[in-house]
Structure 1
Amino acid sequence: MKVSDFNYDLPPELIAQHPLAQRDQSRLMVIDQATGGITHRVFRDLIEYIEPGDLLVLNDTRVLPARLLGVREGTGGQVELLLLRRIDLNTWETLAKPGKSARPGRFFSFGDGRLRAEILEVREDGNRIVRFHYEGVFEKVLDDLGEMPLPPYIHEKLEDRERYQTVYSRAEGSAAAPTAGLHFTPELLEAIRGRGAETAFLTLHVGLGTFRPVKVEVITEHLMHSEYYSIDELTAQRIEAARTAGRRIISVGTTTTRTLETVMRDRGRIEACSGWTDIFIYPGFEFRIVDSLITNFHLPESTLIMLVSALLGYDHTMEAYREAVRERYRFFSFGDSMFIRSSRFKEGPNHDRQA
């Protein structure tokens, strides 16, 4: 398939620039995985589609205030650093703008010198390796000086930083939010458990590769970015118990889906582990564990819409996106949601998983 097969017409005014006042009041498109049939609801109505025994798996990563605005020492030139990946206690891989000024040996100052950045290395991909100098605890300094690294299509200022975090976020390390989870409230999660369903939490730290365009023509030639994941023992036990019992596993977000399918591919079962995944899921992919998916509406020609197409089917996916445009859904990170619903009865870990 070609990348252009995943293009669609999106009026710019449908790109959500801010979150709704209430998380669970976003719209929810419920799609039957088998037929492609569509129902229009509100996200809090998700509870009506949850069945006893279901397991919802969610990504508890927390977004770092990873955007730093400062000046070059000696000249006062403006600079922006975006933290991508921690290498050790004080060393990070970053993006720097403008790149020409961020050369090895140069220093940049943030917060009137409260935080200083020393450029150590320029990587082949243009990213900078930076050592930070500060007093106290780095996370506290970053929390005071950093800004949320909102996606490039959001142009309005975010008044409340917590609205770019899920209510269950815990493990700091992401450069972007796992946006499918932004619709949940503590009350909705409790109601889901009250229906006899379970929740389990894993971690995948979302990288900026999420927003990078696919630049090849044929999708199989695309090289995926790599992201760090971890699954603890309790979560592994809950997921494996649900899988072996044939219960429905509902993945909240593409990041959760990539983690679960990576572990199943590499280990054949879900167990406590951590590592890096560059799995690329596109039509033709055989899902080994994920039955249903809660996700937002994604960028045209992105790897995320390809993942959705792999589970829902290409034709159903593109029709769902056309319907979302017709019905004036809100798109992308602060936008509305879809629930790809499977209601298949299963007979344990070896049941048929046609996608």
Structure 2
Amino acid sequence: MNVLPRSFLSDNASGVSPEILAAIARCNDGAVPGYGADPLTAALTERFAAFFEREVAVFLVATGTAANALSLAACCPPWGAVLCHRFAHVIRDECGAPEFYTAGAKLCPVEGEHGRVTTETLEAAYRGFRLNDPHQTQPGGVSLSQATEAGTVYPADEIAAIAEWTHARGMKLHMDGARLGNALVSLGISPAEMTWKAGVDILSFGATKNGALAAEAIIVFDAALAKDMAYRRKRAGQLLSKSRFFAAQLLAYLEDDLWRRNASHANEMARRLADGLAGLPGVSLAHPVEINEVFACLPDAMAEALRAAGCLFLDWPTAGPGGRRFVTSPATPAEDVAALLAAAR
């Protein structure tokens, strides 16, 4: 009998939550206006207002790349620069989309341990700019990944400190929330406390990695940034004609805290995996495990044995010698985690 692979490649590799598939099917009957003029999209704006405890502007898009690039375009002029961690998704994995949609703004890499920038490392990068010099790009925004590309999270007080630093220099603060649900569960705080109450101006709200089919949203807290977003979205090819199918996903995602249940399971599976690996000879964790990602340094022989046992994961050189990345999802069975640890032992 063939054994199915045990995938720890990415939370993008997992299936769709049954509740979300059912919501898509329910909205398939009949005809409604397109391009966001349907009742479900209107209801989603109200639902997000309740979720964030204030009125927000909501712009649905199909991908996290679009959400990030369009958000940064709203924050930063073409002659500007966005400060972000040097391993941030926006600078390493967006194929130049932020630069394209900002019409030329640059991304400025910033140092920081375990994927996090600080006001100190931001200030060090900021000092490298010649302010008011037309020969050089000017700092226009800061982008935080929550959670980070190292699987760590920013506590609310750190976000607030960075927001204060950012706003004092006339810049806007963007948050890449591709794994926002996992970060919220990890910290045990409210969406409001993590975002606008801490000073975030605009948010890329991700659900695809946490059980959705394709559902991302730009959530704008600063009304000035929302003014032109409808035009930016259309120009980018992201004004969704059948918006109801995307709105239905996010409504189901927020209903009865599905987002929380999914993220809690994924985080718990990662914690079990990390605890099991950390106790093995020759294995070390490269970063604290705070969400559903485990970065571990494994001997090559162990990595080969795991793959031979049907476990799928990625080599991750930036985690250090022997670095590997394991990602769990809402659909990761506890049995798969146990099987991987048994093979590792």
Shorter-chain TM-score: which interval?
A: under 0.3
Greater share of strand: 1
Q: TM-score, normalised by structure 1?
A: 0.25
